[in-house]
Amino acid sequence: MEQANSYNYLNGKIILSKKASILTNDRGFLYGDGLYETIRIHQGKPFLWKWHMTRLIAGAEIIGLKLPLTSSKLLEELKNLIQKNNSSNCIARLTITRGPGERGYDFTGDETPTSLVSLHEIPPIEKKAISLSITNIRVATGDILTTIKSNNKLGSIMAKRFAKEKNTDDGLIINSDGNITETSSANIFYIKDGILRTPPINDGVLPGVTRRLTLGLASSLGLAVKEESIAPKKLEQANAIFVTSAVAGIRNVRQIEDTKFPKNQLVNQLQKAYNEELSKHTTLAAKSTGS
């Protein structure tokens, strides 16, 4: 088995993971002051790279973070790390913090960011559908911080803990209007009357890269798509429910609380289209680099 995380990229150097360290006054460590991206690596190629970088750059603008590397330079370093670890199918996590700074929440803008790239084994994704519970975790409708991949993920941590205590696989987070937003780590979709529905970003939803891909795939399959606020009761009437993430792709939901959902042909079609897109992307990336 490949050891995906033997080496890390840290601030311009590829080093052994066990020797990687950050300073004790790093604002990412102290305050969660930074951003990250989780990217699927398939056959040595980062999947949907440009979309991930678009989101990272947008998040950096929102929090006033100076990115230390250009997208092309970061891609170059990621490819070097993949080669060094000899791991062509894995998960890459890109973490950028504001870097070391003075004590307190304020920052000067002159800090030197910390850049960390690590690779991880793809967790075993079981073919069976997952179960969800509705958590007591809340986010504010329209909160701009829900639209970025912030290093502060306490809400997601608590949602996952809540789900575990309920003996479910993951937990749904609700917004201040009482509507569904997402799970601890995935966007949610449901199908009703032949229409694919998902919460809008303004409801407190992360603009997931796999969410974006899924919306496009649905349209290409001729499936009507609607972004709308989703009260928990609406999910009970769904014909099918699934979640999307960079790690798991498209995954069926079999149960939310006491309501069970059958398998659905439309979800199967979307899963097939996702897998085809993954393979197609790898082929196109190889051609573009001449590899």
- pLDDT tens track for 129-173: 999 999 999 999 999 999 999 999 999 999 999 999 999 999 999
pTM here is 0.93
Residue 211 is assigned to a structural domain of this protein: yes
- The answer to whether residues 59 and 32 belong to one domain is yes
Alpha-carbon distances, residue 120 vs 19, 40, 232 (angstroms): 17, 10, 34
Q: What are the angstrom distances between the C-alpha of 271 and each of 38, 76, 165, 264?
A: 20, 30, 29, 11
Domain count, the chain: 2
Residues 159 and 257 in one domain: yes
Share of the chain above pLDDT 70, in %: 95
Question: Which pLDDT belongs to residue 291?
Answer: 37
pLDDT recorded at residue 176: 97
Q: What is the pLDDT of residues 203-259, one digit of tens each?
A: 999 999 999 999 999 999 999 999 999 999 999 999 999 999 999 999 999 999 999
In a domain, 289, yes or no: no
Residue 163 covered by a domain: yes
**One domain, residues 170 and 194:** yes
Domain C-terminal end among 95, 120, 145: 120
Is the pLDDT at 283 greater than 90? The verdict is no
Q: Across the chain, what does the average pLDDT equal?
A: 93
Tell whether 114 and 185 lie within a shared domain: no
Which pairs with CB-CB distance under 8 Å and at least 24 residues apart come from 104-111?
105/31, 107/27, 107/33, 107/64, 109/64, 109/66, 111/27
Q: What is the mean pLDDT of the segment spanning 92-110? A: 96
Indicate whether 144 and 114 sit together in one domain.
no
User: Within this chain, do residues 248 and 142 fall inside the same structural domain, yes or no?
Assistant: yes
> Could you tell me if 237 and 143 lie in one domain?
yes
Residues 135 and 272 in one domain: yes
Contact between 106 and 133 (Cβ < 8 Å): no
- Domain boundary (73, 89, 120) is at 120
Residue 291 lies in a domain: no
Which of these three, 66, 86, 120, is where a domain ends? 120
Give the helix/strand (H/E) hosting 155. helix 154-165
Q: Are residues 143 and 66 in the same domain?
A: no
Closest CA to 31 of 91, 92, 89, 107: 107
Mean pLDDT of 160-188: 97
In a domain, 1, yes or no: no
284 in a structural domain: no
CA dist 70 and 83 (Å) reads 20
Domain identity same for 114 and 168 = no
Which CATH number goes with the domain that contains 249? 3.20.10.10
75 and 33 in a single domain? The answer is: yes
Place of tokens 């066990």: 18
What pLDDT digit, counting tens, does each position of 19-54 carry? 999 999 999 999 999 999 999 999 999 999 999 999
- Would the pLDDT of 123 be above 90? no
Q: Residue 290 — very low, low, confident or very high, per pLDDT cuts 50/70/90? A: very low
289 pLDDT higher than 70: no
pLDDT of 182 strictly over 90: yes
Please check whether residue 82 is in contact with residue 44, taking contact to mean a CB–CB distance below 8 angstroms. yes
The reply to whether 44 falls in a domain is yes
Domain carrying residue 108: 7-120
Q: Residue 103 and residue 194: Cα distance in Å, rounded? A: 54
Alpha-carbon distance 161 to 274, whole Å? 29
Judge whether 271 and 250 are in contact, CB under 8 Å. Answer: yes
Residues 40 and 134 in one domain: no
